[in-house]
Amino acid sequence: AENVGILAMELYFPSQYVDQVDLEKFDEVGTGKYTIGLGQSKMGFCSDREDINSVCLTALHRLIERNNINLHDIGRLEVGTETIIDKSKSVKTFLMTLFAKEGATDVEGIDSTNACYGGTAALFNAINWVESSSWDGRKAIVVAGDIGLYGKGPARPTGGAGAVAMLIGPDAPLIFDCGVRASYMTHAYDFYKPDLACEFPYVDGKLTITCYLNALDNCYNLFCKKMRNVDSNFKGLLSLDGMLFHTPYCKLVQKSLARVVCFNDFLNASPNDRKQQFPGLSQFDNYKREETYFDRDVEKAFMTYSQSLFEEKTKPSLHIARNVGNMYTPSLYGGLVSYLISKSPDQLIGKNFALFSYGSGLASTMFSMKICKNMSAGSKLERLIKSLNNTVSMLDERQCVQATVFTDLMDVRAKNYQTAPYEPSGSIDVLFPGTYYLVRIDEQRRRRYERK
Ligand code: ACO
């Protein structure tokens, strides 16, 4: 199969959000800490009416419906998530209810679980299958979803929730390149969920940031090295049209672009190129990569240097992250959606991107994607952007909930996390049409859903 990539794509975010300005007041932190310091505007959240199965079902059903997908044409269904409820029973098996109804049960694939990275692992599985000898000519679907919640405290404003569903196959408008994936994986206790009786993670905030920047540093350098093997003229960010990141909060991404990407390009440039491309930055000639993550001078200088590069290549990808928060495994793909809808198909044709996926624990990969040049894929691209525009416009139809009410709803979720039997109390009225919701958990902890 050739030109394997994303044929169609859909996104789901919750119909309720809390405003970060309101949250700053409620949490009694300095005005501007969440909105300017973290760069966040709004945070989507789910009441006890939704869980990981329902948000994934909602995204999957939307993708199937909007693209008239015949489920017998799907040979693989992959799920990426870090939200676990039935431990041994995968989310994928729940999603099979839609397929089994049509008698379509010959479907490979299962869940990939890791903080924020599971979606990328699932995507790679799907791409690899279509490119492999076991491929049978059918398409694959990847669903990545999470409900990202933190306990009360400084991490809470960096939560979020949502799901993405992607149809994967050959002759795609969004094509993934082969041979230039660069990964960095190692062990770290920066963020993990050892308490199975609680939805919240254990998180060491400062350590997560160091781990994220260090992973980016390693992936980006290896990625550039691999790219130079393919194209000796590859000049890092300058050779890319867009650079998309997993987005825990928007400010971290802007700093990452400056501190890691541009600083690495600076260190990697020949002395001549350095003088030309990076005027006025020679005082950093002898600085070391790993020692600069929290260096304010480097940050300031490279934030200024990278401002216009950021505006052009990265900022358009932050729209959903700023308005929904960290969706965890779908975060990077929400970035892709944001970028795509910020441009017209004409502006996108032939463009190439680098994507950085990061998951605590830790797992990370940088990989590349380009946008098709041929006409048949071009019309698929047009359809894809139109459909995503419809979805993203629903951001404005959401209901704003006061921080006090949000906190109460989170307390209900936390208190009943392991209650059975259980009937959720969250509003059904507030949900978007087409949303799956939890009706009841019975004595055996079996969950029943309906669709609005
Ligand atoms: N006005 C403007 N800016 C302010 C204000 C204010 N009143 N008050 C603080 N700030 C700035 C700070 O200077 C800081 O900016 P800086 O990074 O440039 O120094 C920023 O706001 C955040 O303030 P901190 O005091 O550093 O925030 P805190 O330590 O309380 O929490 C953190 C931030 C660690 C990100 C926390 O929200 C967290 O733990 N989140 C979850 C983990 C996370 O998202 N990690 C990222 C990568 S891993 C992942 O994806 C899960």
d(CA 259, CA 244): 15
Residue 50, token pair as written in the block = 């939704």
More confident residue, 379 or 145: 145
Q: Cβ–Cβ contacts within 10 Å for residue 202, how many?
A: 13
Nearest CA to ligand 1 atom 30: 154
Q: What is the pLDDT of residues 158-199, one digit of tens each?
A: 999 999 999 999 999 999 987 799 999 999 999 999 999 999
Q: Is 116 in the pocket of ligand 1 (CB under 6 A)?
A: yes
Residue showing tokens 């890319």: 240
Residue ranges per structural domain of the chain? 5-451
On whether the CB atoms of residues 143 and 59 are closer than 8 A, the answer is yes
Polymer length of the chain: 452
Q: What is the pLDDT of residues 258-308, one digit of tens each?
A: 988 889 999 988 889 899 999 999 999 989 887 888 889 999 999 999 999
Nearest CA to ligand 1 atom 17: 37
The number of the ligand 1 atom at minimal distance from the alpha carbon of 249 is 44
Known catalytic residues are: 82, 116, 246
Ligand 1 centre to CA of 413 (Å) is: 25
CA triplet 93, 95, 98: central angle to 5 degrees? 120
Q: Cβ–Cβ contacts within 10 Å for residue 333, how many?
A: 29
ipTM attached to this prediction: 0.98
d(CA 392, CA 62): 13
Nearest CA to ligand 1 atom 6: 33
Ligand 1 centre to CA of 76 (Å) is: 39
Q: Which of left, alpha, beta for 280 (phi over 0: left; psi -120 to 50: alpha)?
A: left
The number of the ligand 1 atom at minimal distance from the alpha carbon of 326 is 50
Q: Is 316 in the pocket of ligand 1 (CB under 6 A)?
A: no
More confident residue, 289 or 430: 430
b/e per residue 397-424 (b: at least 16 CB within 10 A): ebeebebeebbebbeebeeeeeeeebeb
Nearest CA to ligand 1 atom 44: 248
Residue 375, token pair as written in the block = 């006409």
Q: Is 37 in the pocket of ligand 1 (CB under 6 A)?
A: yes
pLDDT, residue 374, reads: 76
For residue 226, what pLDDT band results from cuts at 50, 70 and 90? very high
- Best mutation site among 38, 192, 207, 324 for ligand 1 pocket (most ligand atoms within 8 Å of CB): 38
d(CA 349, CA 237): 18
Reported pTM: 0.97
DSSP code for 361: T
Q: Is 255 annotated as a binding residue?
A: yes
Ligand 1 centre to CA of 72 (Å) is: 47
Q: Is 205 in the pocket of ligand 1 (CB under 6 A)?
A: yes
Three-state DSSP at 48 gives coil
SS3 for 403-417, per residue?
A: HHHHHHHHHHHHHCC
Q: Is 32 in the pocket of ligand 1 (CB under 6 A)?
A: yes
Query: Average pLDDT of the chain?
Result: 95
Q: Considering the chain, what percentage of its residues have pLDDT values greater than 90?
A: 91
- Best mutation site among 117, 158, 324, 328 for ligand 1 pocket (most ligand atoms within 8 Å of CB): 158
Ligand 1 centre to CA of 272 (Å) is: 37
Burial (Cβ within 10 Å: 0-12, 13-18, ≥19) of residue 235? middle
CATH of 5-451, one of 3.40.47.10, 3.10.150.10, 3.40.640.10, 3.30.70.20: 3.40.47.10
Q: Is 207 in the pocket of ligand 1 (CB under 6 A)?
A: no
Ligand 1 centre to CA of 259 (Å) is: 16
Q: Is 251 annotated as a binding residue?
A: yes
- Asked whether the predicted pLDDT for residue 375 surpasses 70, the reply is no
Q: What is the pLDDT of residues 77-129, one digit of tens each?
A: 999 999 999 999 999 999 999 999 999 999 999 999 999 999 999 999 999 99
Ligand 1 centre to CA of 37 (Å) is: 6
Q: How many CA atoms lie within 13 A of 199 on its CB side?
A: 25
